[in-house]
Amino acid sequence: MNLPDRRSLTALAYQVGPGRYYQPAYRFIANDIAVERGAVLDVGTGPGWLAIHLAAGRAEVDAVGIDTCPHMLRFAEANKAGRLNVTFHRMDATKIVYPDRTFDVAVAVQSAHHWADAAGVFAEVYRVLAEGGRFYVYEADPDADVPAEWIARRGGFPPDLLIKRQWARFGMDAARWSALRAVAEASPFGPDVGDETHGFCRRLVCTR
């Protein structure tokens, strides 16, 4: 009998858990970025929801999601439900197979804590962004409050305690966030990196 591997189980757990109850958060982020036309890159797309929300109702937006996990990408393909302006590819963010200046905006939500080579990601995203393009990097703040409107709950689930535990495990504390910002400032984006708060996330805004 072939048992599912760990990455397959992790992808399934995200699809039926956070991928469901973070739907409002994905929408808030997509609406705040407010791309109306052009090409958008979702770095570490997971099950694809941010790319889907970025492209939803925007016929002049082409959203591309990349991830290294084939199991996540299978869920992403199913979740896009035939949308023609959303595509997904298995791709390393340090080796993006697109020409220079392809994208107008790039976004990474809850993927930076996985990056083994953050400097390589910033450099490669800079390369594929058009002049004036922005790279938004979001990570959950373990010390943030849980904004009720950012979470879809069923019968009180998930409770705030569970969400905060997830942020402690998969978000970035102040020290890790400061280190990530230092990498961004030392990258081709240069020192003028915005450091903001949006919902329960810290956010870097890097402009090419």
**4 versus 166: which is more confidently predicted?**
166
Any domain includes 47: yes
Question: CB neighbours (10 Å) of residue 90?
Answer: 11
Any domain includes 153: yes
Any domain includes 1: no
Contact 64, 87 (CB under 8 A): yes
Query: What is the CATH number for 145?
Result: 3.40.50.150
Backbone φ and ψ for 23, nearest 5 degrees, come out as -55, -45
Any domain includes 145: yes
Q: Give the per-residue pLDDT at 119.
A: 98
- For 48-76, the pLDDT digits (tens) are 999 999 999 999 999 999 999 999 999 99
Any domain includes 37: yes
Any domain includes 127: yes
Q: Give the per-residue pLDDT at 5.
A: 66
- What the block records as the tokens of 73 is 């990408």
**42 versus 34: which is more confidently predicted?**
42
- The CA-based dihedral angle spanning residues 24, 27, 33, 35, taken in that order and rounded to the nearest 10 degrees: 180
Q: Is the pLDDT of residue 206 over 50?
A: yes
Q: Is the pLDDT of residue 208 over 80?
A: yes
Any domain includes 87: yes
Burial of 114 (0-12, 13-18, 19+ CB in 10 A): middle
The mean pLDDT value of the chain amounts to: 93
Range of the domain at 110: 6-207
Question: The pTM is what?
Answer: 0.93
**136 versus 171: which is more confidently predicted?**
136
pLDDT band at 162; cut points 50, 70, 90: very high
Q: Give the per-residue pLDDT at 1.
A: 45
Number of structural domains in the chain: 1
Backbone φ and ψ for 40, nearest 5 degrees, come out as -125, 135
Any domain includes 167: yes
- What the block records as the tokens of 85 is 């302006």
